A and B are shown apart, each in its own frame.
Chain A
């Protein structure tokens, strides 16, 4: 990485003052920092830009002129090839089928647990909350051996899975996502619900509103910002997950698109242009969600970690 980093300017306070006062020396003294930060930003984009460049060139062009060369033709051919040849639409659909129910159910479950532990003073609440939080911190590989065997033992009716087992079925992936991700969401949501004044629940209780109405009609609507943040974050995380389907779905055609990339790797390892196109295409939904909901994504990432 860049070791020739210019020394950070020494007096932030005076410089900020200068900048606001628009003194002539202000912009000049920022140049060094902009050069450094711009250089780093560019360096960080190089891998992505390179993948994009590779994906836009036909294989014949790169085979003839090498990869580090000026393009002789540019086009979306690799994208349409990856789309049609390797069954990307099917894998995208698998991803949707796994991601949407997982996110919705995770949010509902964790909202329920967070409501339970943060709005009532039951004795074991802290233990419960720790159990959920710690569950999400366990490395997935610690669970995988018994989980794999467990999935092979649990039968499913035929209308749910043609493997007749939890193994090799989308249901199994959804189940582990819900159980595993609930920990993180419960942690975030319980912190959020604690900030809602207790008096609101008490007033509802005095009015004779049953607890379920408190939950659905008072607390859940108040948590909308936290739901927006978590839904964005979890959608990207679950969509991006590679490990669970890799271990728990044997047949390639049932895997979601992120794990199905491994098929692409096996089938087209001699054609980097196609792999670049496939990888970028897989990344497009996450990038769109990120750019559309940047604020939610980042606040989801930081509210979970920033405070106690």
Chain B
């Protein structure tokens, strides 16, 4: 971690006046083009999602957009069967990820942040899934979960169990199966982020705690963890964002046909509603707005964490 001395912006009132016309044109161009791209491809669709969520539209003719107020929201809250399961699954996803792979990644980082042999091998093994795309992760786990040819049922039958479990088909099981696959990847991500945080941690604090008779767990919980608050916030934000965004693994493990009973997620319902012939643009947009509102909390936390210092 490069320790970056953040130079406070010195008051330089004369600066802009010293810029010539050419400089001004250059600066306008280099900020203008990226900003136009960002506004057009990212912020315009985000706001359009909000706008379209109050309308009904078949998606063909712009003149056919009709304002219907909150009807889409009323519909999805009361009359759209997959909505509440999807919300529940998103919450389960978030809690599971926050309670198992995230602390486990932190635990591994803490274990690996010392001078022991093979530490790079251990780190690489756990981090490797993070390099794979979520789609590939999905396919790799499909080969494990497949009820007829998969590793898991192969082991079960080899140990004499007569159970034939359809890991991805059983709607009580499949979400958990997908969560294991996603955790396989998430753990390494958290581990690497936390290792970087620990590298910037002053070892003298740890030594002082040890001198005071604190054991390993106490040192971590009372000294290291509180001191790494910025990293903790980032990890929290990343966990929330990844849980809300999760799409690829579920899509692949669901067989590539959209949402499947037991594995509905908001992100999948949104794409259900735009791709395919029976597109309900209003529904999809209202679902997107629900997702947006939830993610704004995480985005806000991230921005506050990172820009508070500069604002002063």
* Contact A47/B140 with A109-B34, A120-B27, A137-B298 known, Cβ cut-off 8 Å: yes
- Pick from B184, B231, B238, B266: contact of A141, CB below 8 A: B266
- Could you tell me if A44 and B104 are in contact, using CB atoms closer than 8 angstroms? no
| Residues of the B chain whose Cβ atoms lie less than 8 Å from the Cβ of A41 | 121-122, 125-126
Binary A-proximity of B203-224 (CB < 8 A = 1, otherwise 0) = 0001100110001110100000
- Could you tell me if B273 and A67 are in contact, using CB atoms closer than 8 angstroms? no
- Could you tell me if B34 and A34 are in contact, using CB atoms closer than 8 angstroms? no
**Which A263-308 residues have C-beta < 8 A from chain B?**
265-266, 272, 275-276, 278-280, 282-283, 286-287, 290, 294, 297-298, 301-303, 305-308
Of the stretches A73-81, A86-94, A193-201, the one at the interface is A193-201
- Pick from A142, A212, A302, A308: contact of B306, CB below 8 A: A308
- Could you tell me if B7 and A305 are in contact, using CB atoms closer than 8 angstroms? no
Chain A contact patch, size range = 35 or more
- Report the minimal beta-carbon distance from B18 to chain A, rounded to whole angstroms: 6
- Could you tell me if B40 and A179 are in contact, using CB atoms closer than 8 angstroms? yes
* Contact A145/B52 with A8-B217, A10-B216, A182-B34 known, Cβ cut-off 8 Å: yes
A135 within 8 A of B: yes
A258 within 8 A of B: yes
- Report the minimal beta-carbon distance from A84 to chain B, rounded to whole angstroms: 19
- Could you tell me if B184 and A142 are in contact, using CB atoms closer than 8 angstroms? no
- Could you tell me if A145 and B267 are in contact, using CB atoms closer than 8 angstroms? no
- Could you tell me if A145 and B288 are in contact, using CB atoms closer than 8 angstroms? yes
Measured CA separation A30–B114 after assembly (Å): 11
- Could you tell me if A262 and B256 are in contact, using CB atoms closer than 8 angstroms? yes
Measured CA separation A220–B130 after assembly (Å): 29
| Residues of the B chain whose Cβ atoms lie less than 8 Å from the Cβ of A146 | 44-45, 48-49, 52, 285
- Pick from A113, A115, A283, A297: contact of B136, CB below 8 A: A283
Of the stretches B91-99, B168-176, B190-198, the one at the interface is B190-198
- Report the minimal beta-carbon distance from B75 to chain A, rounded to whole angstroms: 16
- Could you tell me if B210 and A13 are in contact, using CB atoms closer than 8 angstroms? yes
- Could you tell me if A113 and B34 are in contact, using CB atoms closer than 8 angstroms? yes
Measured CA separation A33–B40 after assembly (Å): 52
Chain B contact patch, size range = 35 or more
| Residues of the A chain whose Cβ atoms lie less than 8 Å from the Cβ of B292 | 138-139, 142
- Could you tell me if B126 and A210 are in contact, using CB atoms closer than 8 angstroms? no
| Residues of the B chain whose Cβ atoms lie less than 8 Å from the Cβ of A113 | 30-31, 34-35
| Residues of the A chain whose Cβ atoms lie less than 8 Å from the Cβ of B126 | 40-41, 44
* Contact A139/B27 with A37-B122, A113-B34, A145-B274 known, Cβ cut-off 8 Å: no
**Looking at B9, B43, B139, which has the most chain A CB atoms within 10 Å of its CB?**
B139
Binary B-proximity of A112-156 (CB < 8 A = 1, otherwise 0) = 110110001110001011111111011111111111111000000
- Could you tell me if A145 and B273 are in contact, using CB atoms closer than 8 angstroms? yes
- Report the minimal beta-carbon distance from A226 to chain B, rounded to whole angstroms: 10
| Residues of the A chain whose Cβ atoms lie less than 8 Å from the Cβ of B118 | 34, 37-38
- Could you tell me if B302 and A137 are in contact, using CB atoms closer than 8 angstroms? yes
- Pick from B34, B116, B288: contact of A142, CB below 8 A: B288
* Contact A12/B114 with A210-B26, A275-B143, A308-B306 known, Cβ cut-off 8 Å: yes
- Could you tell me if A283 and B298 are in contact, using CB atoms closer than 8 angstroms? no
| Residues of the A chain whose Cβ atoms lie less than 8 Å from the Cβ of B37 | 109, 175, 178-179, 182
- Pick from B38, B187, B289, B295: contact of A135, CB below 8 A: B38
A259 within 8 A of B: yes
B5 within 8 A of A: yes
Measured CA separation A67–B133 after assembly (Å): 25
- Could you tell me if A13 and B206 are in contact, using CB atoms closer than 8 angstroms? yes
- Could you tell me if B193 and A137 are in contact, using CB atoms closer than 8 angstroms? no
| Residues of the A chain whose Cβ atoms lie less than 8 Å from the Cβ of B128 | 44-45, 48, 287, 290
**Which B1-34 residues have C-beta < 8 A from chain A?**
1-2, 4-7, 9-12, 15-16, 18-20, 22-23, 26-27, 30-31, 33-34
Further 17 A-B residue pairs, CB within 8 A, beyond A131-B35, A145-B288: A12-B114, A37-B122, A38-B122, A44-B126, A51-B140, A51-B143, A54-B143, A113-B30, A113-B31, A120-B16, A132-B38, A142-B289, A143-B42, A146-B45, A180-B41, A265-B139, A278-B139
The 8 tightest CB contacts between A and B, nearest first, are A240-B133, A68-B154, A146-B48, A179-B41, A41-B125, A112-B30, A302-B196, A109-B34
Chain A residues within CB distance 8 Å of chain B:
1, 8-14, 16, 19, 30, 33-34, 36-38, 40-42, 44-45, 47-48, 50-51, 54, 62, 66-68, 109-110, 112-113, 115-116, 120-122, 126, 128-135, 137-150, 175-176, 178-180, 182-183, 186-187, 191-192, 194-195, 197-198, 205, 210-212, 215, 236, 239-243, 246-247, 258-259, 261-262, 265-266, 272, 275-276, 278-280, 282-283, 286-287, 290, 294, 297-298, 301-303, 305-308
Listed by A's residue number, 26 A-B pairs whose Cβ atoms lie within 8 Å are A12-B219, A19-B116, A41-B126, A44-B128, A44-B129, A45-B128, A47-B184, A51-B139, A68-B158, A128-B35, A137-B302, A140-B247, A142-B288, A143-B41, A144-B271, A146-B49, A146-B285, A194-B6, A205-B18, A240-B132, A240-B135, A266-B256, A278-B139, A301-B189, A305-B196, A308-B309
